[in-house]
Structure 1
Amino acid sequence: MKALQYTAFGEEPTVVDIPRPSPGPGQVLLRVTAAGVCHSDLHIMASPPEEYRYGPLPLTLGHEAAGVVVSSGPGADRFPADTPVLVYGPWGCGICRSCARGEENYCTDPAGVHPPGISVAGAMAEYMLVDAERHLVPLRDLDPVQAVALTDAGLTSYHAINGSRHRLGAGTYALVIGAGGLGHIAIQILRALGASTVIAADVSEEKLRLAREVGAHHCVIANEAAADEIGRLTAGAGVDAIFDFVGTERTVGLAGSVAATHGDIVIVGVGNGALPVGYRRQPFETSVRSTFWGSRSDLWEVVDLARAGLIRVAVETHPLLDAPTAYKRLAEGKVFGRAVIVP
């Protein structure tokens, strides 16, 4: 079968021919119908050898996966052949307290979380192995190309917002920093879950146009004047819930400068920015947290929102042979919404 693999440090990913896998005990083999392209993959491929902490090379990329069940190994019998499914990505041990709550994204096993496309072979291939049936969510009538980003971009956004739902009542303000792949989904989730006025901030006018299309009430260019503009929009009261999908020093600085008393700041992006926390460093009662992916139950809820027509992902599609081009477009900031590989 064909697969997109990261084969050597510093090299671009390439499409190669590898053997088709067979499911072992408890595993499920999927024919991949859609695989999402994500900035996390760029971080993996940009890691120097001394900092690389992902799966052994060559690594089949792709941690957003949709597919159809082909066959199952001994002990796996919940999903008949031809069942369309989505794949929950942060695979934990399944036994620890966090996993017992469905929070495999925060698995406490010493071996850690083993996501496909990050630690083990992923979805950028014609077929992929899923380690356990509990990581499958029925797709039913949803389009896999539309839905595949729900497994990371949607799930990560939902998990970040869900922890701040108590801040999203009438008369409050929510700020989404970064209106790209995750941000444009987050705006829709905010509109679906709360009554906040939603503000989007981004350096790109094109991405702000997308933000407006999916429901942002106000859009602000993320430049030196952004904090003043957001202050004007909130009549000086500040923002009650801030979701930073970039995470650089500049964006977390913006978040801290516009937070309201009792505000939530959620840093989702992996830009290595840090926000000082301490007496009078932020408004009183401000909470600052970082998140990683989401729980299994979160994914079921995100799928329900999509099935109800409350989330629609902006996508561009590429065949598997064109996957390297999709990553180039992503690195150049030319992807609006999510890029999806269709084997």
Structure 2
Amino acid sequence: MRAFQLVEWQKPPQLREVLVPEPGPGQVLVKIGGAGACHSDLHIMQAPVPPPGNGMRLPFTLGHENAGWVEKLGPGVTGFAPDDPVIVYGPWGCGLCANCRRGRENYCQKTGGRGGGLGGHDGGMAEYLLVPASRFLIPLGTLDPREAAPLTDAGLTSYHAVKRSLHLLGPGSAAVVIGAGGLGQMAIQILRALSAATTIVAVDTATDKLDTAKRLGADEALLSGDQAVTRVKDMTHQQGAQLVLDMVGLDPTLRMAAQMARALGHLTIVGLGGGALPVNFSSPPHECSVAAPYWGSLPELIDVIALARQRKVRMLVEHFPLARVAEAYQLLQDGKIQGRAVITPQM
């Protein structure tokens, strides 16, 4: 089969011929319908060495947002049958530690919460994906794997980031989403579906993404900068927003997030831009909690799929055949993907 693999650090990945994996006991082979191209893949491609605590060894198949159809069951696997449409939970934990037993495999105490294309396992930018345990598969029902794949990260990460702050978002509250790309678009829809926030504000540097944010449920769409800070302060009577989600994570966006947040609010860093939040006695505002959540739990992915089935959230996707995977990543790097680029090896 063909697989898009990172072969050498800081070198472009290669589309290579590799053997189709054979599922062992408890494992499942999935025929990939869709694999989302994520910004975190770009960070991996550009890294000079594996990220700290990451056991990844080269060559390595990229892709951690995966959905498809069951191809073959390993010995002992029950509950699934060939051709079942499934989505693959990404952060593969040990299944035995306290966090995993609560469904929080994204915070597995053995792996540090890194797996499923990020921690030494081959990902889904290939024709087939070997899933190490059937518990990582969730039935998709009538959802199309080629459309649903980004729910495993863009959807789940946004859901987890919003859910932890829902108690702050009562009537009259405001939430700001900085970055209106794939993650931000999902966050806006999840805020609209789950919260009672009166005002949802999208902030971005691109007017086309702001237009999309408005169509997906944002009440205000602001160009990034000082004027956006002033507008958020004005609409919140100079108090700031109860929740600020930074889906970018660069120095300028984090400075802006600190200015837009309010005392006793939440400032949540989701983006992997590598910036530093200015922290002193007055920044962020007093008792504003700062968190950097990672991905989401397995039960939360079940919730996200339910929202998608109810058509309360949808990911804007642009499909690319596997032969054009490098082009898809370049367009992502250049900021030319509106929602999510999804690689479709079977099309």
TM-score range, shorter chain: over 0.9
Match of 2:20 in 1: 20
Q: Does 1:96 find its partner at 2:97?
A: yes
Match of 1:41 in 2: 41
Match of 2:76 in 1: 75
Match of 1:201 in 2: 203
SS class of match (1:129): strand
> Which residues in structure 2 correspond to 1:293-308 (within 5 Å)?
293-308=295-310
State the 1:10 CA deviation.
Answer: 2.4
State the 1:223 CA deviation.
Answer: 1.9
Q: Are residues 27 and 208 of structure 1, via their aligned partners in 2, closer, same or farther at CA, if it must alter by over 3 Å?
A: same
Q: Does 1:121 find its partner at 2:127?
A: no
Q: Are 1:117 and 1:123, in contact at CA under 8 Å, matched by a contact in 2?
A: no
SS class of match (1:284): coil
Distance 2:111 2:32 in 1: 30
Q: Are 1:44 and 1:54, in contact at CA under 8 Å, matched by a contact in 2?
A: no
Distance 2:282 2:59 in 1: 49
Match of 1:63 in 2: 64
Match of 1:321 in 2: 323
Comparing 173-182 with 279-288, which one deviates more in the overlay?
279-288
Unmatched 5+ residue regions in structure 1? Answer: none
Q: Are 1:62 and 1:118, in contact at CA under 8 Å, matched by a contact in 2?
A: no
Letter of the 1:282 partner, please give it: P
Q: Are 1:24 and 1:74, in contact at CA under 8 Å, matched by a contact in 2?
A: yes
| 1:244 aligned to which of 243, 246, 249 | 246
Q: Are 1:177 and 1:201, in contact at CA under 8 Å, matched by a contact in 2?
A: yes
Distance 2:293 2:5 in 1: 28
SS class of match (2:29): strand
Letter of the 2:178 partner, please give it: I
* Identity %, equivalent residues: 47
RMSD of Structure 2 on Structure 1 (CA): 1.5
State the 1:5 CA deviation.
Answer: 1.0
Match of 1:218 in 2: 220
Letter of the 1:28 partner, please give it: V
Q: Are 1:60 and 1:117, in contact at CA under 8 Å, matched by a contact in 2?
A: no
Unmatched 5+ residue regions in structure 2? Answer: none
State the 1:118 CA deviation.
Answer: 4.8
SS class of match (2:5): strand
Match of 2:312 in 1: 310
Aligned residues: 343
SS class of match (1:182): helix
Letter of the 1:263 partner, please give it: G
Comparing 208-217 with 254-263, which one deviates more in the overlay?
254-263
Comparing 322-331 with 255-264, which one deviates more in the overlay?
255-264
Distance 2:142 2:107 in 1: 30
SS class of match (1:44): helix
| 1:283 aligned to which of 285, 288, 291 | 285
Match of 1:173 in 2: 174
TM-score, normalization: structure 2?
0.95
CA deviations 1:271-293 (Å, max 9, x no partner) are: 12232445433322211111100
Q: Are 2:5 and 2:14, in contact at CA under 8 Å, matched by a contact in 1?
A: yes
Q: Are 1:59 and 1:117, in contact at CA under 8 Å, matched by a contact in 2?
A: no
TM-score, normalization: structure 1?
0.96
SS class of match (2:307): helix
Match of 2:140 in 1: 139
